[in-house]
Amino acid sequence: MEIKLKRIEDLEENYQKIYTWCSKKHVYEWFEQRPLTLEEVKDKYQRKIREGKQDLYFIQCDGQDIGFTQIYKYSDDISMLRDIGILYEFDLFIGEESYLHQGIGEAAVKLITKKIYDTYPADSIILRPFSRNTDAIACYEKCNYHVFRKYMGKDTLGNPEEITILMN
């Protein structure tokens, strides 16, 4: 299996694919906590492209788009992270169920990590999954990310959620 990243330059032709993935429980449970409408997907990613603060990529397996990642400079103000240097962060999901539990997530995390260090002025990379997302945390730990700290935050709906900070 060949895992690659393909930068998304034109979202118009890709909204439906992202919408379909974001409508699947194994994605929205961790990504938005609810299915997004097609209009919400368009608004969200048009804004991200327009603001230029995030780079969007498809995760490909053998040339087929199977997932999504967004890479961005970490900007939240968590006091425990202020003196670490320039931090980058990414989110990812595998949207195609037939590609789950095959080690592709691990390969994608390693590829994204390399991409960030090769392309961006990152001193370190931070990941912030929900603490109950034990599959993601285990994957990140296999890729040399280490638990730094946990804190009480909020999910995208505003509900309290414990967050695990992992760093590379």
Residue with the larger pLDDT of the pair 150 and 31: 150
pLDDT at 129: 96
> Tokens standing for 4?
């690659």
Over the chain, what HEC string results?
Answer: CCEEEEECCCCCCCHHHHHHHHCCHHHHHHHCCCCCCHHHHHHHHHHHHHHCCEEEEEEEECCEEEEEEEEEECCCCCHHHCCCCCEEEEEEEECCHHHCCCCHHHHHHHHHHHHHHHHCCCCEEEECCECCCHHHHHHHHHCCCEEEEEEEEECCCCCEEEEEEEEC
Asked if pLDDT for residue 77 goes beyond 70, the answer is: no
pLDDT confidence tier of residue 11, bands split at 50, 70 and 90: confident
Asked if pLDDT for residue 46 goes beyond 60, the answer is: yes
CATH of the domain at 99: 3.40.630.30
Over the stretch 114-124, which tens digit does the pLDDT of each residue have? Answer: 999 999 999 99
Over the stretch 126-158, which tens digit does the pLDDT of each residue have? Answer: 999 999 999 999 999 999 999 999 999 999 888
- Comparing CA positions, the residue from 54, 24, 19 lying closest to residue 40 is 19
pLDDT confidence tier of residue 36, bands split at 50, 70 and 90: confident
Alpha-carbon gap, residue 69 to 167, rounded angstroms:
17
pTM metric for this prediction: 0.90
Neighbours of 26 (CB within 10 A): 14
- Comparing CA positions, the residue from 110, 67, 112 lying closest to residue 89 is 112
What is the span of the domain harbouring residue 34? 3-167
Domain total in the chain = 1
